[in-house]
Structure 1
Amino acid sequence: MLEKKQLWLTALAGVVAAFFIAKGEKVTQFFAGWVTVLGAFSVSEWGVIGGLMLGLASFILTWVYKHKNHEVLKAKVASGEPLEALLDEDDR
């Protein structure tokens, strides 16, 4: 089993090396640019950036699902379902 993994990893390394050789300078420039961006900030700054991104994602997801929930409730109210049943269902 270990020999198969080593063979697979060797083949993968060969493919990656061939890709870098074929693409050459552009791939190197791409990775160099990303390493520069990553190195421009400290760990605490990356934490702040990550927190802001997660907060924004949480806000958007909450808004989307609350909007969908309100649309479903509007449709049920329009169809004439009892209001108490809708409130009990929404609390669950």
Structure 2
Amino acid sequence: MLEKKQLWLTALAGVVAAFFIAKGEKVTQFFAGWVTVLGAFSVSEWGVIGGLFLGLASFILTWVYKHKNHEVLKSKVASGVPLETLLEEDDR
């Protein structure tokens, strides 16, 4: 059983090595580019970038769900549900 695992691991290592030999320059350039981008900013700058991203994501999610809620409320008003009932449901 152990010999089969070693054979598979050796074959996998051979495939990975062949990939890096064939595409090594492009893979190296790709990772070098990302490391350069990551190294271009300090930790505090990454915190600001992350905060901006999370703020934008929060804004978009809130807008989408409020829009869906307003559409549901419009359809309920159009179907004749009393406004007091809708306001009580919306407050919960």
TM over 0.5: yes
Distance 1:75 1:3, change over 3 A: farther
Greater mean deviation of Cα atoms: 22-31 or 43-52: 22-31
CA offset digits 1:30-84 (Å, max 9, x no partner): 1100000000000000000000000000000000000000000000000101111
Structure 1 unaligned blocks of 5 or more: none
Call closer, same or farther: CA 1:85–1:34 in 2, change over 3 Å. Answer: same
RMSD: 2.7
Change (3 A) 1:39 1:80: same
Q: 1:11 to 1:55 in 2, by over 3 A?
A: farther
The list of structure 1 runs, each at least 4 consecutive aligned residues, that deviate by more than 3 angstroms after superposition, is 1-18
Measured after TM superposition, the shift of residue 24 of structure 1 is 1.7
Change (3 A) 1:26 1:88: same
Paired residue for 1:21?
21
In structure 2, the gaps of 5 or more residues are none
The equivalent of 1:91 in structure 2 is 91
TM-score w.r.t. the length of structure 2 is 0.82
**CA distance 1:57–1:22, change in 2 (3 Å):** same
Identical aligned pairs, as a percentage?
A: 95
SS at match of 1:81: coil
Quick one: distance in 2 between partners of 1:2 and 1:72? 61
3-state secondary structure, aligned to 1:15: helix
